[in-house]
Amino acid sequence: MAFFGLFALQHRGQESAGIAAANGETLNVHTDMGLVTQIFREPDFYPLTGNMAIGHTRYSTMGSSLLCNAQPILAEGIQGKLALANNGNIINASQLKAQLQDEWNCTFSSTTDSEVLALLLANASGANWEDRLFYCMRQVEGAFSMVALTHDTLMAARDPLGIRPMCIGKLNGGWVIASESCALDHLGATYERELEPGEVIIIDKQGFHSATWTGAQGRRALCVFELIYFARPDSILDGQLVHSVRQELGAQLAREHPVDADMVIGIPDSSTAAAVGYAQESGIPYSEGLVKNRYVGRTFIEPEQRLRDLGVRQKFNPLTEVIKGKRLVVVDDSIVRGTTTPHVVSLLRRAGAAEIHMRVCAPPIKNPCYMGVDMASRQELIAANQSVEEICQTIGADTLGFLAVDGLMKVVGGTRGGFCDACFTGNYPVPVQLELTKLVLEENGSGTLD
């Protein structure tokens, strides 16, 4: 079950993966580098016995892409042994690591903030796991949606701002917790709800227990980029189907940046829904114009620029007979580094497109993310260094239009509102060190790089 759940969440990370399982007495883990289907073969499941398991697909936002950083992370402390997997970024990881080393003599075998979180929980004070999880919430700054496993207890916790997604469902009298509801669908589980910000869940032989940290102030800061790009379109986030949100983003984009054209195409797959929305709102026919090689991963979350460039060149092929001589509206979900877009524009030009009008259903990304999306440094963000007119020239389009922040927020309003839009506005939901990098736990001389 954990394997198939991870398979459904492969889009969230392609560097490494792992599963930990517990049977009431023992706790075992298997991790490796690569995709879920590459890592696990039938013999790998033999040690993973029991009635509880957690799993993780990694996309590095703190710590290099190394086997020692693969999750779930095993940790041992005064509360015994546990395995932990986390989605997010602990922005005060360096300070917490120093505290764990100085006060509790903890040793570290990785360079990831998830090990800091694991050791903090394994050594946390408190009469029970609820108290210990709340202790961690008081100590930790940043974003986390985490699951943890001891030999007899399954735990989950979402940070007090709910920055990264997390939901829960029921299956055959048991429980399933996942970053996105699409994983529940693939397992045949019944979707129950999203975890509340600051909520912890404990599942053990006594059953299901939920509690919310009193320090959660009711503020919400779900990462809006999840709705724009990161999450799968068949997932529910903030009470909304992601596909429907993206379609409405495209419609809003058409209202903000109309253009006289013959055809609307999307850059598959994450922009397809937005392109359909643009076409419906504008009255311009929609068509497929690019074919995507389904076996090339998501170039945005490749850990190195060289791999991104190579992936982009193999990723798309134009339908020349469809787009030749046409004035195209090309809808994309975002422009981050500006790596993919010039290549796509060049492909369409060579295929005979008469005009190319780029429309982006996100505002210009001008600020790095410190909350769990690897936006790279400000120097690498094209919109942080160029105006819209300059970006248009750089990518080789005839015109370029970005969705406005107000237009984005109008669409994603959500059931209760509250989003992190710092990558567009610079308004971070918690104070951050603007020089913080994903290698911070390596740069200070700690961790293992072998």
Q: Summarize pLDDT for 90-111 with one digit per residue, the tens.
A: 999 999 999 999 999 999 999 9
> Does one domain contain both 170 and 292?
no
In our burial notation (b when 16+ CB lie closer than 10 A, e otherwise), range 54-75 reads bbbbbbbbbbbbbebbbbbbbb
- Is 282's pLDDT higher than 50? yes
- Is 58's pLDDT higher than 60? yes
Question: What is the average per-residue pLDDT within 151-172?
Answer: 97
- Is 311's pLDDT higher than 70? no
Q: Residue 55's pLDDT is what?
A: 98
**How far apart are alpha carbons 52 and 175 in whole angstroms?**
10
> How many CA atoms lie within 13 Å of 83's alpha carbon, on the beta-carbon side?
25
Strand order, beta sheet including 52-58:
27-33, 16-22, 52-58
CB 255 within 8 A of CB 281: yes
- Is 447's pLDDT higher than 50? no
Place of tokens 């007119």: 389
| Total domains present in the chain | 2
The answer to whether residue 261 sits within a structural domain is: yes
- Is 294's pLDDT higher than 80? no
Q: Which range has the worst mean pLDDT, 136-150, 214-228, 286-300, 324-338? A: 286-300
Q: Residue 201's pLDDT is what?
A: 98
- Is 279's pLDDT higher than 70? yes
The answer to whether residue 347 sits within a structural domain is: yes
Q: Cα 51 from chain centroid?
A: 27
> Does one domain contain both 180 and 289?
no
Structural domain boundaries, residue 185: 2-221+439-443
pLDDT grade for 446, boundaries at 50, 70 and 90: very low
> Does one domain contain both 94 and 168?
yes
Q: Which residue has the higher pLDDT, 265 or 68?
A: 265
The answer to whether residue 201 sits within a structural domain is: yes
Q: Is 165 left (phi over 0), alpha (psi -120 to 50) or beta?
A: beta
Specify the length of the chain in residues: 450
